[in-house]
Amino acid sequence: MANTDFFDVTGHIGQLWVFPIKSCAGIAVQSARLLATGLEHDRAFMLVDARGEFISQREIARMVLVQPAIGDGVMTVTAPGMEPLTVDMAFDGPEREVRVWDDRVAGLQAPDAVNAWFSAFLQTECYLVRMAPQALRLSSKKWTRGVDAPTQFADGFPVLVVSQASVDELNARLTQAGEVPVVAERFRANIVVDGFQSHDEDRIESLSVQQGGPGSQQWADLPLVKPCARCPIPDIDPATAASGTQVTDTLQTYRHDDRLDGAVTFGMNAYVPAGTGGVLRVGDAVGGALQFD
What 249-258 contacts at long range (C-beta under 8 Å, 24+ apart), as own/partner pairs, is: 250/170, 250/173, 250/174, 250/177, 250/179, 251/170, 253/173, 254/173, 255/230, 257/227, 257/229
**Taking the CB of residue 52, how many other CB atoms lie within 10 A of it?**
17
Per-residue DSSP letter, 22: T
Residue pair 188/180 in contact by the 8 Å Cβ criterion: no
Tens digit of pLDDT at every position of the chain (293 positions): 455 667 999 999 999 999 999 999 999 999 999 999 999 999 999 999 999 999 999 999 999 999 999 999 999 999 999 999 999 999 998 999 999 999 999 999 999 999 999 999 999 999 999 999 999 999 999 999 999 999 999 999 999 999 999 999 999 999 999 999 999 999 999 999 999 999 999 999 999 999 988 888 899 999 999 999 999 999 999 999 999 999 999 999 999 999 999 999 999 999 999 999 999 999 999 999 998 76
Please indicate, yes or no, if residue 151 is contained in any of the structural domains: yes
Instruction: Count the domains in the chain.
Output: 1
- Between strands 191-194 and 159-163, the pairing is parallel
Host domain of residue 111: 4-287
What is the per-residue pLDDT for 6? 79
Report CA 284 to chain centroid distance, whole Å.
19
Q: Name the H helices within 128-212.
A: 141-144, 164-176
What is the per-residue pLDDT for 172? 98
* CA–CA separation, 159 and 120 (whole Å): 31
Which amino acid is it at 250?
A: T
Please indicate, yes or no, if residue 31 is contained in any of the structural domains: yes
What is the per-residue pLDDT for 3? 55
Please indicate, yes or no, if residue 169 is contained in any of the structural domains: yes
What is the per-residue pLDDT for 1? 42
Please indicate, yes or no, if residue 293 is contained in any of the structural domains: no
Please indicate, yes or no, if residue 264 is contained in any of the structural domains: yes
Report the CATH number that the domain containing residue 243 is assigned in CATH: 2.40.33.20
**Taking the CB of residue 203, how many other CB atoms lie within 10 A of it?**
18
Q: What contacts 45, CB < 8 A, 6 or more positions away? A: 20, 21, 22, 75, 128, 129, 130, 153
Per-residue DSSP letter, 249: H
What is the per-residue pLDDT for 213? 83
Residue pair 281/1 in contact by the 8 Å Cβ criterion: no
Residue pair 243/232 in contact by the 8 Å Cβ criterion: yes
* CA–CA separation, 76 and 82 (whole Å): 12
Strand-pairing partners, residue 63, are none
* CA–CA separation, 275 and 284 (whole Å): 19
The structure's pTM equals 0.96
Please indicate, yes or no, if residue 292 is contained in any of the structural domains: no
| DSSP per-residue letters across 103-136 | EEEEEEEPPHHHHHHHHHHHTS--EEEEE-TT--
